[in-house]
Structure 1
Amino acid sequence: MFIAGTAATIFQLFLSPGVKKNEIRPEEWTITAEQMQKECKEAVAVKVADNGQALEMTNSSGDAVRYEPYQALIRKRVNSKGHVPMLQHVKRIAFRLQDHQVIIEAISLKGTQYRAAFPIYHSL
Structure 2
Amino acid sequence: MLSDKHGFTLVQALWQLQLFLLLSYGCMLIFSAAEKAQPFEEMNRFSQMEWKQTVLQLDEELSRATAVRSVKGGKALEYISDQGRVVTIEPYQNILRKRMDQTGHLPLLQKVKQFRVKTYQHRAILKVTDESGQVYEAVFFIYKGVIPTS
The two structures have a TM-score, normalised by structure 1, of 0.80
Residue 50 of structure 2 corresponds to residue 28 of structure 1: yes
Residue 23 (structure 1) shift: 2.5
1:114 aligns with 136
Cα contact 2:62–2:140 (8 A) shared by 1: no
* Count of aligned positions: 108
Query: Which has a greater percent of helix?
Result: 2
Q: Give the SS at the match of 1:51.
A: coil
Cα contact 1:101–1:118 (8 A) shared by 2: yes
1:4 aligns with none
Cα contact 2:46–2:110 (8 A) shared by 1: yes
Q: Which amino acid aligns with 1:119?
A: F
Q: Give the % identical residues.
A: 35
Cα contact 2:122–2:145 (8 A) shared by 1: no
Q: Which runs of 4+ in 1 moved over 2 A?
A: 17-23
Cα contact 1:22–1:109 (8 A) shared by 2: no
Unaligned runs of 5+ in 1: 1-16
Query: Which has a greater percent of strand?
Result: 1
The two structures have a TM-score, normalised by structure 2, of 0.67
Residue 78 of structure 2 corresponds to residue 56 of structure 1: yes
Unaligned runs of 5+ in 2: 1-38
Deviation digits for residues 26-71 of structure 1 (CA, Å, limit 9, x no counterpart): 0000111111111111111111101111111101221001100000
Distance 2:44 2:72 in 1: 25
Q: Which amino acid aligns with 2:66?
A: V
